[in-house]
Homo-oligomer: A and B are copies of this chain.
Amino acid sequence: MRLLGLSEAQMVDRARRVSDAETVPDLVSVFARGAWTTVAEPGDGAAGGVVAALGPAVALRAITERWSAERVRARCESRNIAEVAEAVAAAWSSGATRWRSRLDGANVAAAFDLASRTGVRLVVPGGARWPERVVDLGVHAPVALWMRSRVDEQDAAFGRSIALVGARAATGYGEHVTLDAASGLVDRGFTIISGAAYGIDGMAHRAALAGRGRTIAFLAGGLDRPYPSGHASLIDRIATTGAVYSEVPCGAAPTKWRFLQRNRLIAASSAATVVLEAGRRSGSLNTAGHAASLGRPLGAVPGPVTSAASAGCHRLLREYDATCVTTAAEMAELVEPVSASEAESAGGSASTGDAARSVLAVLNRRSATTVGQIADRTGLTSSEVQSTLGLLDLEGAVVETASGWSRP
């Protein structure tokens, strides 16, 4: 098949320079997905639906051949996906005109040429370096991702990963907290995912690199011109040991819309999202909103209530049921909950200690024990028993009845 005036061989040649795909059909598909990134804006669910239903190459040909909605519907029916035919035809009707106005063979060729000249690769769903979790975005998942990395393989990069995000206008407090968080998480083997912006994002990447950890950035613009330009060398360092991704092709400028859609990829590709410092209107709250709507664990680091720079984090705690996280260990728990016995051995419980264990050892479920009896049996003073019971009571580990204390 010919597309955009290119022969199959020409498409395959272009795709081969930016992709590890090996067969001709796979390479044509890679080429078509790359072309789609020049046509549809990030997060265009109509494009996602049409590409999923028709396949990327046929969907592209449908644009150039000006297919009618009726023909799209018939195609779905012939592919045995009649149940979505109506929705896909509607998506086609809503998008075909805007895609056609943007589809330009020279643009597509330029995007591929620029990518191969600047070491940018194209990764597609199912490929080795594809962030599997974006499947949860449904039709809003990216059609393909452009990627820059000097590392050959990175199989588990997204597996144990946490997005650390926050405001550009970071305070010293926010940067300190981010440094601790990223260092502690890479020590635990987590990949740090962020947006390479000034402030919190940049600090998260830098601390991960300093800790010799793996870090991945998602950019809102083309990878040939890193944004912000002041972070060009940081972004280069991220690509050296990790990877930098973008949903838009080389040459594409970052826009407000693309930032918002980039945020959805940060949230969708990571196992959990933590907002470290954010004012009431920080864009990182948008990332948090994506994480929440995907049902992903969402953490927020509190700060002084007197600091407007933390107001967004407090809002997430109040209104979005974010988990309060104060240390890297607590952030790791968002992804890998700690069992009670581990928490105890790590000293995580306030009442952990010999006194609490002794007191619990003499209590039972069937009958109540008085403070005096507990003191006698544990060798603790009454006042030690009482303060230990107070803490255990707070934890729900003991209950007080009319005649003394017992276990619940």
A314 close to chain B: CB less than 8 A: yes
A260 vs B255: C-alpha distance when bound (angstroms): 58
Interface string of A298-309 (1 = CB under 8 A from B): 000111111000
Residues of chain B within 8 A of A140, CB atoms compared:
400
Indicate the member of A255, A306, A387, A402 with the most B CB atoms within 10 Å. Answer: A402
Contact B286 A302 (CB under 8 A): no
A401 close to chain B: CB less than 8 A: yes
Contact of A285 among B45, B90, B257, B394 (CB under 8 A): B394
Tell me the A48-95 residues at the B interface (CB within 8 Å): 48-49, 87, 90-91, 94-95
Residues of chain B within 8 A of A177, CB atoms compared:
305-306
A395 vs B290: C-alpha distance when bound (angstroms): 11
- Given the known interface contacts A176-B306, A306-B173, A386-B256, the answer about A281 and B318 at a Cβ–Cβ threshold of 8 Å is no
A87 vs B305: C-alpha distance when bound (angstroms): 49
Q: Which segment, of A125-133, A227-235, A243-251, A323-331, faces chain B?
A: A323-331
A318 vs B177: C-alpha distance when bound (angstroms): 18
Q: How far is the CB of A262 from chain B (nearest CB, A)?
A: 12
A383 close to chain B: CB less than 8 A: yes
Residues of chain B within 8 A of A169, CB atoms compared:
none
Contact B318 A91 (CB under 8 A): no
A391 close to chain B: CB less than 8 A: yes
Q: How far is the CB of A289 from chain B (nearest CB, A)?
A: 3
A323 vs B320: C-alpha distance when bound (angstroms): 11
Contact B318 A402 (CB under 8 A): no
- Given the known interface contacts A87-B402, A256-B383, A256-B387, the answer about A304 and B304 at a Cβ–Cβ threshold of 8 Å is yes
Contact A260 B94 (CB under 8 A): no
A390 vs B261: C-alpha distance when bound (angstroms): 9
- Given the known interface contacts A257-B386, A315-B350, the answer about A402 and B305 at a Cβ–Cβ threshold of 8 Å is no
Residues of chain B within 8 A of A383, CB atoms compared:
255-257
- Given the known interface contacts A286-B393, A306-B177, the answer about A403 and B314 at a Cβ–Cβ threshold of 8 Å is no
A43 close to chain B: CB less than 8 A: yes
Indicate the member of A314, A324, A350, A401 with the most B CB atoms within 10 Å. Answer: A324
Tell me the A317-341 residues at the B interface (CB within 8 Å): 317-318, 323-327, 330
A120 vs B280: C-alpha distance when bound (angstroms): 50
Given A285-B394, A286-B391, list of 4 further CB < 8 A pairs? A87-B402, A95-B403, A286-B393, A302-B314
Listed A/B pairs (22) with beta-carbon separation below 8 Å? A49-B402, A94-B368, A94-B370, A94-B402, A173-B306, A177-B305, A177-B306, A257-B383, A260-B387, A281-B391, A283-B390, A285-B350, A285-B391, A285-B394, A286-B391, A289-B393, A289-B395, A293-B396, A302-B304, A303-B305, A314-B326, A318-B324
